Amino acid sequence: MTVHAPNRLAVHQSLVHPHDVLELTAVLPGTGWHSVGLHVGGTAEAEPWWHGGAGEHNLARLVPLLLETRVTVLDVGRVQLGAGLPRDDVHAHHGRVLDLGARFGARYVTARVTADLPPARRADVFGQLADQARPYRLVPLLAPVPADRPDLVDDAVAVVTPSGGGVVLDVPVGSCTPGGVEAVVDALGDALGYVRLSARQVVAAGDDAAGLLATLPPHVPVALGGDDSAGFVHDDVATRLTDLHGRVDALLEHPRARARRLGGP
């Protein structure tokens, strides 16, 4: 019999803004969360952290802290993809995102593609990112792709499939059903990188969302954050993250497991 480990759970840095990633990493042990997701490019508030000067000190401090706390980095983001993606070997722009992702041992790098590009061109430029990310051992993911928009899911699959990349599946907690999530996860197959949830939506839904991700395969990570949850946790961080872990765990709990835990038949 094969015993599966539970899904890897990650907190995106934006969730605890303006706390920095060092503070977040230090507080995670004991809260139930395993990983962090980092903004290292593409957002103004992230730039001072990783660009020259103080950025070099932050890099030197974070790597040992990750080792000490056994916290891992799920992903780094993000790369903005336009009509083309020339190589960035001096690490001034997207090359810096790839370089930092490799230094932190991240699995994924997230990207957004300009919406007005034709589908074939979007697949081509995403493929360029995949080629450049490969030496860094990073898998590019298109983000965000809403689970309740099958048309956008189909478009995203067409973009990432030729290069072997994947997508970040954004699951709206209030408007999705367990069956709907299961269907889109099955449709994505190997193109599914990880699932992202909004902390605000998770809290608002409460017990009504229990079991929403009950059939999510155990190898698929779940990340909490999203742009709409920026700064959602800004005080008593450890206590609130522990509470949020319990709420997300309830989303992952199968109804049979819930019944057994509650002493039902």
What is the mean predicted confidence (pLDDT) over 46-66? 77
Q: 20 lies in a domain?
A: yes
Locate 137 and state its tokens. 């051992």
- 193 CB neighbour count, 10 Å cutoff: 27
Question: In this predicted structure, what is the pLDDT of residue 265?
Answer: 56
Total count of domains within the chain: 1
Nearest CA to 138 out of 27, 50, 41 is that of 41
Q: 44 lies in a domain?
A: yes
Q: 154 lies in a domain?
A: yes
Question: In this predicted structure, what is the pLDDT of residue 2?
Answer: 38
pLDDT band at 43 (very low <50, low <70, confident <90, very high): low
Strands 108-113 and 72-81: parallel
The identity of residue 69, as a single letter, is T
Buried b / exposed e along 243-257 (16+ C-beta atoms within 10 A): ebbebbbbbbbeeee
Question: In this predicted structure, what is the pLDDT of residue 89?
Answer: 79
Which range, of 30-39, 47-56, 103-112, averages the lowest pLDDT? 47-56
Locate 9 and state its tokens. 């759970």
Q: 1 lies in a domain?
A: no
Q: 222 lies in a domain?
A: yes
pLDDT tens per residue, range 98-121: 999 999 999 999 999 887 888 889
pLDDT tens per residue, range 190-210: 999 999 999 999 999 999 999
Q: Residue 243 belongs to what domain range?
A: 9-261
Q: 4 lies in a domain?
A: no
One-character DSSP codes across 47-70: HHHHSSTHHHHHHHHHHHHHHHHT
Q: 3 lies in a domain?
A: no
pLDDT band at 46 (very low <50, low <70, confident <90, very high): low
The identity of residue 261, as a single letter, is R
Choice between 265 and 192, residue whose per-residue pLDDT is larger: 192
pLDDT of 261 above 70: yes
Q: 59 lies in a domain?
A: yes
Is 102:137 a contact under the CB 8 Å cutoff?
A: yes
Angle between helices 54-69 and 94-103 (to 10 degrees): 30
| CATH number of 92's domain | 3.20.20.150
pLDDT band at 3 (very low <50, low <70, confident <90, very high): very low
Choice between 46 and 172, residue whose per-residue pLDDT is larger: 172
pLDDT of 157 above 70: yes
The pLDDT mean for the chain works out to 89
